[in-house]
Structure 1
Amino acid sequence: MAECVTAFFDIDGTLGWTDPVAREHMSDTERKLSPVPSPIVADAIRRFVAAGNRAFICSGRSPLDIHPKMAALPFSGMACLAGAYVKVGDVVLRDVALPPEVLACVDEVLLETGMGALLESVRGSVDVRGGTAGTHWPSPASVAEALERIPGGRAHKVVLPTPTAKLVVSRLAGAVGLSIMELELGNSEVGLVENSKSGAVKAILDYLGDAGTTYGFGDSENDLSLFEQVDVPVAMGNASPVVKAAASMVTDTVDNDGVATALATLGLI
């Protein structure tokens, strides 16, 4: 009988891809949703799980911003919001939001610089002051107003133009441990140091106890911490050089269904 294994999949650039420039011109609802997997990749995930294996989403996205077609795949759970929210089945293992002093600092910096941001939470995401591009109006004029639109009034991470993100992190240095990770279009996400894909995956593996051989699929530098926790890190063909260098295997690109190719090559489907 074949060993049952566990795999963790990044979304953007791994399971699917939406051009970020094109996304900026979509409706507000469409813009915030994750890409959808191709039919080939979706079928590969179904076959992988049907063989008795476990598949988990491992993404920086909010759970509510995962496209319904992606969420409908047979995942055993998710590590979302860059590790701030972790769930296996119906059991929540982590739910760690940004403290008030971080959100107050973000509000202060946005007012000073005239820039916008995206607050992300377990209950979805909300633009502030037009969002990072400053073009998504109408939107709340302050972080406090944005939090009123999120049930529970909590945010787990924030996306800002990179210079603005660096300013927030520098002002809170020594007071709050924050991490910063560069994204596309000149933006960066800011979250608590304790929240990472590495910590999220470790929490899932500790909960599972016996996970079998573990695999991690990713394309960006924020997936390096995912790679630290798995036996077989797999980089997409579109991954950055540093991610490819950290991987045990480099598969095809996301546009060429690299996840499906890797699962087949590894004998997992």
Structure 2
Amino acid sequence: MRPDAQTTAAKTATVFFDIDGTLGWVDPTCEEGRPRWEQGLSPAPNDAVVDAVRRLVRHGHRAFVCTGRPPGAIHPLITAMPFSGFITLAGAYVTLGSRILRNEPIDPELLRAVDDVLARRGEGARLEGLRVVTELRGGTQGDSANSAPDINEALRRQPDGRVYKVILPTAAADEIMAEPRLAESLSAHALELGNSEIGLASNTKRAGLLAIAKVLRDGMGPTYGFGDAENDLPILDEMTVAVAMGNAVDAVRERADYVTSDVAHDGVVAGLEHFGLI
């Protein structure tokens, strides 16, 4: 059984925050309505959430971001906040300060096997690198301009030739995961708008947490995790206290120790206040 949450607040704690649906929210169907420079970036937290995270750190606690997004797609307002490190790309790339703790891209040959299925279906995808997202054969909707015509060209457009996640139509992801030789190495998670993401099965938010814990060791203190989606479950299961946002999917709410307000009503702020962390 987890320690009583209310008794842990006096200790130095380590708190992990998902971004989308937790620190902030942008309706993906309204992306074109955002300022051009923000399009493709994560949502930006509002002033109340920014202030709460700053107060958390001023109280002597650590804060980490834990997101499926690549580093280059995190809003600069978040990167300017006093986070100790970032678990990005769902655990494929992890940093603690200036140190890189995990850097696990998908092998190019495995990517080509994934693309064999996509090409057979006549569908495209988005390939996420650390800083660049490459559209392949029109992207997930098939209408992206200037997309790469094939996987080799898509990889050449990545500055380091590395891809960490593939965003693709869910039906294609299901077909890929139905192939035993691919399902051995990969995992898939559903996203919005009929798309899914595929990455290495070994890359999870839990793997990112363990990489950080290996360095911090006993210095982590009690851990708190805030999340809303199924891909948050691997890390929430490892927390001293798992906090579900009010907008979280049922599976997250059922496993949480506490359900806070939704993202539209500053659930991060309410949760931190509830546990006496700010």
- The counterpart of 2:62, out of the listed 37, 54, 60, is 54
- CA–CA distance in structure 2, aligned partners of residues 233 and 213 of structure 1: 11
2:245 is matched with which residue? 236
- The counterpart of 2:13, out of the listed 5, 27, 31, is 5
Q: Any stretches of 5+ residues in structure 2 without a counterpart?
A: 1-8
CA 1:115–1:27: 2 relative to 1, 3 Å? farther
Asked whether the equivalents of residues 96 and 156 of structure 1 are also in contact (C-alpha less than 8 Å), the reply is yes
CA 1:169–1:63: 2 relative to 1, 3 Å? same
Aligned residue pairs total 269
How much identity, in percent, do the aligned residues show?
48
1:217 is matched with which residue? 226
1:130 is matched with which residue? 138
2:115 is matched with which residue? 107
- CA–CA distance in structure 2, aligned partners of residues 125 and 217 of structure 1: 27
- CA–CA distance in structure 2, aligned partners of residues 134 and 187 of structure 1: 13
2:170 is matched with which residue? 162
Asked whether the equivalents of residues 177 and 183 of structure 2 are also in contact (C-alpha less than 8 Å), the reply is no
> Which letter maps to 2:271?
A
3-state DSSP class of the match of 2:220?
A: coil
Q: Any stretches of 5+ residues in structure 1 without a counterpart?
A: none
- CA–CA distance in structure 2, aligned partners of residues 65 and 23 of structure 1: 13
> Which letter maps to 1:171?
E
1:250 is matched with which residue? 259
- CA–CA distance in structure 2, aligned partners of residues 157 and 146 of structure 1: 13
3-state DSSP class of the match of 2:39?
A: helix
- CA–CA distance in structure 1, aligned partners of residues 37 and 177 of structure 2: 29
**1:174 Cα deviation (Å)?**
6.1
2:273 is matched with which residue? 264
Q: Deviations over 1:108-166 (max 9, x none)?
A: 22222221211112233222122212232122122221221211100011111011112
Q: Structure 1 length as normaliser, TM-score?
A: 0.95
Q: Structure 2 length as normaliser, TM-score?
A: 0.92
4+ residue stretches of structure 1 with deviation over 4 A?
Answer: 24-29
3-state DSSP class of the match of 2:143?
A: coil
3-state DSSP class of the match of 1:16?
A: coil
3-state DSSP class of the match of 2:53?
A: helix
> Which letter maps to 2:70?
S
Asked whether the equivalents of residues 63 and 124 of structure 1 are also in contact (C-alpha less than 8 Å), the reply is no
1:64 is matched with which residue? 72
Taking the TM superposition and a 5 Å limit, the aligned residue runs for 1:92-103 are 92-103=100-111
Asked whether the equivalents of residues 128 and 146 of structure 1 are also in contact (C-alpha less than 8 Å), the reply is yes
